[in-house]
Amino acid sequence: MRKSILTGLVALGTLSAFAQQDPNWESTFRQINDDVQKNSKAYSTLKDATETIGHRLTGSENGNKAEEYAFNLLKSYGFTDVKYQPFEVESWSRGTLAVSAGSKGSLQPIKSVSLAHSPVKADLTLEVVDMGNGLDSDYVAHPGIAKGKFALVYLGTLPGTTGRSLHRSEKTAIAIKHGAKGIIVINTVDGGTLLTGTASVTGKLIPIPAVCIGKEDGMRLKEQLKSGALYSRINMTNHSGKIKARNVIGTIKGSTLPNEKIVVGGHLDSWDLATGAIDNGIGSFSVLDMARTFIQLKLQPKRTIEFVMFMGEEQGLLGSKAYVHETIKNKQIEQLRFMLNYDMTGDVRSFSASHPEAQPLFQSIGAIAQKIDTVFTNGFSSRAGLHSDHQPFMLQGVPTGGGGGGRGANGPAGCYHADCDVFSLVNSEQGLKNTVRFTSMLLYGLGTAESIPAKKLNDEETKAFLLKHNLKEPLQLEGEWRWKD
């Protein structure tokens, strides 16, 4: 008990110290709050973009329009330092697809969608084998069972089973490793909803066809397999080739610490089945409105802040990888002090960071936000995961973070990467305002704090951090684990 009290007092003292380091924080935060509540354009610009552009697939005509939309929006807000950061990507777009399944010689059509980076052409009729959750352990338990067959795998973790829920691309890589000639992924969402997304851990074409089918159809196939052999035909065509895409970057140069940089970003691109209002319109258009807020209020932090619209996230974090690669090439990687990422983040009411050392600073900022509006809970979580634009930064030891506590979307989880991800899901304009105002406060606090307690890790520290968070296995599957044991 005594130790707990002492720890709490130390934490409170630390919070108090941070809270006192800038007496202007509260007045500035109140200006931010008032401006966003009255003038936010996150909701209206997202609505306009979904109506006038549609989907924002990287490499497509729509993707190009989205890049120009974001660039012109930042210009209209008064940014003088806004630029494109071009990079080359392996473009993939779907062509035709027909999937059928049943007993040999009696195959029935099944509603399906191709997973990205599937081959440009495939026409195979093979036996199907149930590989459960599609983890390596599922294959090891039945050596050779999937070789030369289609692997039927569940997207998440089947009820009543245990084990880590890997990304669809990682499950595809495992299927390939164990000799499968194709993969059929069962979506976890009721109602026949189909999910798209990449099946490649590298962002390049994979050697086997990968498709997604609805939950009900998938569970029916699993039942059929209990009573006998099951066969399926996958007949697909797709398109692939090198194209150019562009990140969009708006910069506010720091007044006294210009070589210390805070990056706040979200991916502008989306898949092509819908308009990507939730994934990732609510994140990227909130970041654009944070930029508007800083310019509107003439906020001048000590550190440089870059507002980045990443493209190519859906195809394998291509835009954020290009950004980080450029900082390494220009020997500016050490300037990156923090990266805040907003991917499907709606209605922020708390903060998060990859490093627990950030908690005192984040919660001292949050305490002022909560004083202004008690809707902000000032909770804090420390976590580290993969598969969004923070990942390339995290792999170089840069502390990352963002927001939590999100609400304000009508069932977005079920429409993830699906044809129902449309603007009507964004049922709360106030939710976007909460993301913008509270994150702008966090961003200003990070930009003006005397010090940022979460430091950039060196190579060995980064390795230890990733091991601590059990990220070695998925990174090895992606080919991103650079350390030799």
| 49 contacts 422 by C-beta, under 8 angstroms | no
Residue 23, pLDDT score: 66
Q: Is the dihedral of CA 280, 283, 287, 290 positive or negative?
A: positive
- Segment 39-50 shows an average pLDDT of 98
- Segment 72-92 shows an average pLDDT of 94
Residue 24, pLDDT score: 87
CA angle 440-442-448, nearest 5°? 100
Residue 87, pLDDT score: 96
| 175 contacts 134 by C-beta, under 8 angstroms | yes
Helix 359-372 vs helix 25-39: angle between axes, to the nearest 10 degrees?
A: 60
- Segment 106-133 shows an average pLDDT of 97
91 Rama sector, left if φ>0, alpha if ψ -120 to 50, beta otherwise: beta
For residue 235 the two structure tokens come to: 């007949």
Q: What is the tens place of the pLDDT at every residue in 271-329?
A: 999 999 999 999 999 999 999 999 999 999 999 999 999 999 998 899 999 999 999 99
User: Which DSSP state fits 423?
Assistant: G
Q: What is the tens place of the pLDDT at every residue in 378-412?
A: 999 999 999 999 999 999 999 999 998 754 444 56
How many Å apart are CA 422 and CA 420, to the nearest integer?
A: 6
Cα separation values, 210 from 48, 182, 417, 419, Å: 34, 6, 15, 18
Residue 1 reports pLDDT greater than 60? no
- Segment 344-372 shows an average pLDDT of 96
pTM: 0.90
- Segment 71-76 shows an average pLDDT of 98
Residue 90, pLDDT score: 73
Residue 406, pLDDT score: 59
| 443 contacts 263 by C-beta, under 8 angstroms | no
Range with the lowest mean pLDDT among 11-15, 25-29, 460-464, 468-472?
A: 11-15
Q: What is the DSSP string of 228-288?
A: S--EEEEEEEEEEEEEEEEEEEEEE--SSEEEEEEEEEEE----SSS--IIIIIHHHHHHH
| 279 contacts 344 by C-beta, under 8 angstroms | yes
Domains of the chain: 19-81+253-478 (3.40.630.10), 95-239 (3.50.30.30)
% of the chain residues with pLDDT over 90: 85
- 110 versus 473: the higher-pLDDT residue is 110
Residue 419, pLDDT score: 86
Residue 412, pLDDT score: 67
| 110 contacts 213 by C-beta, under 8 angstroms | yes
Q: What is the DSSP string of 300-357?
A: --SEEEEEEEE--STTTSHHHHHHHHHHHHTT-GGGEEEEEE-SS--S--EEEESSGG
- Segment 331-358 shows an average pLDDT of 96
Residue 324, pLDDT score: 98
Cα separation values, 166 from 85, 162, 334, Å: 31, 12, 31
Helices (H), 341-458: 359-372, 391-394, 429-448
The alpha carbon torsion through 148, 150, 155, 156 (nearest 10 deg) reads -60
